[in-house]
C-alpha cells in the first residue's frame, strides 16, 4: 500500500472508465442545473426552456448515482468471489469509497435540481399570477 492519502481525486482516478464518465456526467449535470436556474431567474417575464431538464434531473441524478454505485458494488462482489481469501479492509476501502462517492454525488445532483426547480417554479408562479 502506498502512503498517498486517499482523496476524491484519487477516487476518480482509480475508478473504472464507465464510473469516471458517470462522475463527470453528474458533475456537469449539477453545474448545468445551476446555470439553467440562474438563467431562468434572470430572464424576467421570458420563461422559455430548461424546466423539463430540471424536473428530469430531480429523479435522474440520484438514480444515476445509485446505478453507478450498484455497478461498483457488483464489480467488488465479483472480484471478491474470485479471490481465495478475504482481503484486508485497507484493500476494500477504495471500492467502498467509490460506491459512497457515487451515491453522494447522485444525491447532491438531485438535491440541486430540486432546489433549482423550486426556485424556477416559484418564479413562474409569481410571473403568471402577477404577484
Q: Decide if 74 is inside a domain.
A: yes
The reported pTM is: 0.84
* pLDDT higher than 90, residue 130: no
The stretch 64-79 carries a mean pLDDT of 92
The stretch 60-76 carries a mean pLDDT of 93
Burial pattern 31-62, b for ≥16 Cβ within 10 A else e, equals ebbeebbeebeeeeeeeeebbebbeebbebbb
Range of the domain at 65: 8-41+49-129
State residue 44's pLDDT score.
67
Number of domains in the chain: 1
The stretch 2-11 carries a mean pLDDT of 81
Q: Decide if 2 is inside a domain.
A: no
Q: Decide if 1 is inside a domain.
A: no
Distance CA 129, CA 131 (A): 6
Q: Decide if 119 is inside a domain.
A: yes
Amino acid at each position: 500500500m502506498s502512503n498517498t492519502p486517499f482523496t476524491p481525486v484519487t477516487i476518480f482516478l482509480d475508478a473504472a472508465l464507465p464510473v469516471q464518465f458517470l462522475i463527470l456526467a453528474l458533475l456537469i449535470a449539477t453545474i448545468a442545473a445551476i446555470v439553467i436556474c440562474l438563467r431562468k431567474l434572470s430572464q424576467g417575464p421570458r420563461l422559455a426552456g430548461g424546466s423539463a431538464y430540471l424536473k428530469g434531473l430531480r429523479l435522474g441524478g440520484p438514480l444515476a448515482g445509485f446505478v453507478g454505485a450498484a455497478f461498483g458494488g457488483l464489480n467488488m462482489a465479483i472480484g471478491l468471489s474470485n479471490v481465495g481469501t478475504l482481503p484486508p479492509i485497507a484493500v476494500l476501502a477504495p471500492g467502498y469509497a467509490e460506491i459512497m462517492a457515487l451515491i453522494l454525488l447522485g444525491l447532491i445532483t438531485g438535491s440541486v435540481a430540486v432546489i433549482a426547480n423550486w426556485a424556477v417554479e416559484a418564479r413562474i408562479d409569481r410571473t403568471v399570477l402577477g404577484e
